[in-house]
């Protein structure tokens, strides 16, 4: 009985195996499965091309894992053993499972691609914002340079007015000299007339002598007055010449200071201020940067030419962000770094330099914006004028 059952079982299995071999290898449900797998592969490749391996490695790895499972499942479904198992599990159920695995791979790949694109967009946005901030800062610096140029024009106009005044004084002095010569000639003429009158009027000799004495006294007084006036005019002329020399020196200092790269120049009658932004001369650790050394070398050339022997002040400033005590210490360090560089590398006498930190005091722009705070983080080098 058992032997008969075994024969029947073997016959049934053999019949099903023969029937499986006679069926076409690719069933009608295979096409959607292959499409789903190919779509998943395409999306994974697209994600890889946009940088998902670096930006979203976990999501891309999961997508590859889902795709590997789908491909494995599909390969298994096409094997002879799988065709035998399909007697128990239908093709439709297997295809749905493969399509699910491929769809999950596609979704994970799309997520990885979206993350990569989002990171790239954020990076581009950050660069755009930085460029905008740099543009605004450059615009403000250009405005200050324009203001400094206008101030230089005003100084030049003032110097021209002083020059014209000096020429007018010289002309007036020449007129006085001519008048003096004329008066002397008239006095000599009168004296000759008086001498002639004296010879003619010997009887009135005493009166003539008195008149002569009075005339001499008068002439002496007039000559003294003229000499005093000439001396006063000469002194005034010397003062004007000194003013002209001072204006010329101020003009030269303005021109030389304007050659210092990335510096903003302002001046009054008493002092010239060279303003350097901290970002241009100092590193994040508040040490002199390579660009800062180039700038400070130019500052040193300017000081050696125009301020040797003068008392030069180096002042450090910060923005208003952070604790007051930390900002104070930071501003002092900035001033000290610039001062020590000028002493050690530009041979500026230590006795000529003083350094002081003022923290966030005296802001030159609003601390409410990044561009304003960047302008407030600065070092000022104050040079006395006309010394």
Residue 316 three-state SS: strand
Residue 298 shares a structural domain with residue 375: yes
Q: Is 135 helix (H, G, I), strand (E, B) or coil?
A: helix
Q: Residue 82: pLDDT above 80?
A: no
Q: Is the pLDDT of residue 7 over 50?
A: no
The predicted pLDDT at position 154 comes to 81
The answer to whether position 182 is within a domain reads: yes
Q: Between 260 and 232, whose confidence is greater?
A: 260
Q: What is the C-alpha to C-alpha distance for residues 50 and 60, in angstroms, rounded to an integer?
A: 12
Of 248, 272, 290, which one is at a domain's C-terminal end? 248
Pair (357, 274) in one structural domain? yes
| Beta pairing class for 263-267 and 353-357 | unpaired
189 phi and psi angles, rounded to 5 deg: -65, -45
Q: Quick one: average pLDDT of 58-82?
A: 87
| 29 band by pLDDT with thresholds 50, 70 and 90 | low
Total of domains in the chain: 3
Q: Check residue 30 and give its pLDDT.
A: 63
Same domain, 275 and 376: yes
| Residue 157 scores a pLDDT above 50 | yes
348 and 297 Cβ atoms separated by less than 8 Å: no
**What per-residue confidence (pLDDT) applies to 22?**
33
CB-neighbour burial class of residue 231 (10 A; exposed 0-12, middle 13-18, buried 19+):
exposed
Task: Decide if pLDDT at 201 tops 70.
Answer: yes
Looking at the fold, whether 170 and 196 belong to one and the same domain comes out as yes
Gyration radius (Cα) of the chain, Å: 49
In a domain? residue 5: no
Is-contact 104 66, C-beta < 8 A?
Answer: yes
> Is 14 a member of any domain?
no
Per-residue pLDDT tens digits for 87-96: 445 678 989 9
Question: Does residue 108 fall inside a structural domain?
Answer: yes
**Domain stop point among 218, 248, 278:** 248
Confidence class for position 2, pLDDT limits 50, 70, 90: low
Out of 189, 221, 248, pick the residue that ends a domain: 248
**For the ranges 27-31, 51-55, 149-153, 278-282, which has the lowest average pLDDT?**
27-31
Q: If pLDDT is split at 50, 70 and 90, which confidence band does 131 have? A: confident
CATH of the domain at 300: 3.30.1330.60
Cα distance between residue 260 and residue 305, in whole Å: 13
Question: Are residues 265 and 243 part of one domain?
Answer: no
Q: How confident is the model at residue 221 (pLDDT cuts 50, 70, 90)?
A: confident
Q: Is there a domain that residue 16 lies in? A: no
- Long-range Cβ contacts of 349-352 (<8 Å, 24+ apart): 349/308, 352/307, 352/308, 352/309, 352/310, 352/311, 352/312
Q: Look at 7-16, 40-49, 77-86 and tell me which has the smallest mean pLDDT.
A: 7-16
Q: Residue 205: which pLDDT band, with cuts at 50, 70 and 90? A: confident
Q: For the chain, give the percent of residues with pLDDT over 90.
A: 45
Output the pLDDT for position 171. 86
More confident residue, 205 or 170: 170
Mean pLDDT value across residues 129-133: 84
**Best-predicted range by mean pLDDT among 123-132, 179-188, 205-214, 315-324?**
315-324
Say yes or no: 285 and 369 in one domain.
Answer: yes
Measured in whole angstroms, the distance separating CA 224 from the mean position of its chain's CA atoms is: 64
Look up the domain containing 192 and give its range: 147-248
Distance CA 165, CA 278 (A): 44
Residue 193 CA, chain-centre distance (Å), reads: 83
* 376 and 343 fall within a common domain: yes
The pLDDT of residue 121:
84
Q: Name 315's bridge partners.
A: 356, 380
pLDDT band at 140 (very low <50, low <70, confident <90, very high): confident
Q: Please determine, for residue 379, whether its predicted confidence score (pLDDT) is greater than 80.
A: yes
Spatial distance between the Cα atoms of 17 and 298, rounded to a whole number of angstroms: 94
Q: Under the phi-then-psi rule, with left for phi > 0, alpha for psi from -120 to 50, and beta for the rest, what region is 377?
A: beta
Residues 118, 154 within the same domain: no
Interatomic CA distance for residues 98 and 74, integer angstroms: 7
Decide if 287 is inside a domain.
Answer: yes
Q: Does residue 375 lie within any of the structural domains? A: yes
pLDDT score at 232: 80
pLDDT digits (tens, 9 = 90+) for 262-312: 999 999 889 999 999 999 999 999 999 999 999 999 999 999 999 988 999
Q: Which helix (H) or strand (E) holds 355?
A: strand 353-357
Same domain, 125 and 153: no
Say if strands 353-357 and 312-316 run parallel, antiparallel, or are unpaired.
Answer: parallel
Q: Please check whether residues 81 and 157 belong to one and the same domain.
A: no
Q: What is the mean pLDDT of residues 234-254?
A: 79
The answer, yes or no, to whether residue 138 has pLDDT greater than 80, is no
Helix (H) or strand (E) holding 31: helix 30-49
CB of 210 within 8 A of CB of 149? Answer: no
| Digit-coded pLDDT (tens) for 111-120 | 988 998 998 8
Note whether 263 and 308 are same-domain residues.
yes
194/274 same-domain check = no
Angle subtended at Cα 142 by Cα 138 and Cα 146, rounded to the nearest 5 degrees: 170
* Model pLDDT, residue 19: 32
Q: What's the pLDDT at 224?
A: 85
Tell me whether residue 208 is in a domain: yes
Distances (CA, A) of 291 to 93, 281, 302, 329: 70, 6, 17, 23
Across the chain, mean pLDDT equals: 84
220: left (phi over 0), alpha (psi -120 to 50) or beta: alpha
Query: Average of pLDDT values for 308-323?
Result: 95
């Amino acid at each position: 009985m058992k032997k008969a059952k075994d024969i029947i079982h073997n016959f049934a299995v053999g019949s099903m195996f023969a029937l499986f071999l006679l069926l076409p290898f690719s069933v009608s449900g295979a096409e959607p499965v292959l499409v789903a797998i190919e779509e998943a592969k395409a999306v994974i490749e697209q994600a890889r091309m946009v940088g998902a391996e670096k930006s979203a490695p976990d999501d891309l790895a999961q997508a590859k894992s889902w795709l590997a499972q789908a491909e494995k499942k599909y390969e298994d479904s096409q094997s002879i053993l799988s065709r035998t198992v399909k007697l128990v599990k239908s093709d439709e159920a297997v295809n749905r499972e493969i399509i699910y695995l491929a769809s999950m791979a596609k979704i994970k790949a799309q997520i990885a691609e979206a993350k990569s694109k989002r990171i790239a967009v954020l990076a581009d946005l950050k660069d755009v914002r930085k460029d905008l901030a740099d543009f605004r800062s450059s615009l403000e610096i250009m405005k200050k340079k324009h203001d400094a140029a206008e101030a230089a024009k005003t100084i030049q106009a003032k110097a021209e007015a002083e020059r014209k005044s000096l020429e007018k004084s010289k002309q007036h002095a020449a007129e006085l000299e001519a008048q003096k010569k004329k008066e002397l000639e008239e006095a000599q003429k009168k004296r000759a007339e008086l001498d002639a009158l004296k010879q003619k009027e010997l009887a009135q000799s005493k009166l003539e002598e008195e008149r002569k004495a009075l005339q001499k006294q008068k002439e002496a007084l007039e000559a003294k007055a003229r000499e005093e006036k000439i001396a006063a005019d000469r002194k005034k002329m010397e003062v004007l010449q000194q003013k002209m020399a001072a204006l010329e020196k101020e003009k030269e200092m303005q021109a030389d200071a304007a050659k210092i790269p990335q510096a903003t120049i302002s001046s009054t009658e008493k002092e010239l201020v060279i303003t350097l932004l901290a970002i241009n001369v100092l590193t994040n650790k508040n040490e002199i940067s390579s660009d800062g050394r180039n700038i400070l070398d130019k500052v040193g050339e300017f000081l050696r030419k125009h301020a040797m022997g003068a008392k030069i002040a180096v002042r450090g400033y910060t923005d208003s962000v952070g604790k007051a005590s930390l900002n104070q210490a930071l501003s002092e360090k900035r001033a000290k770094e610039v001062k020590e560089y000028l002493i050690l590398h530009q041979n500026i006498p230590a006795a000529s330099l003083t350094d002081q930190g003022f923290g966030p005091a005296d802001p030159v722009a609003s601390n409410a914006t990044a561009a304003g705070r960047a302008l407030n983080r600065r070092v000022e080098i104050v040079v006395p004028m006309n010394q």
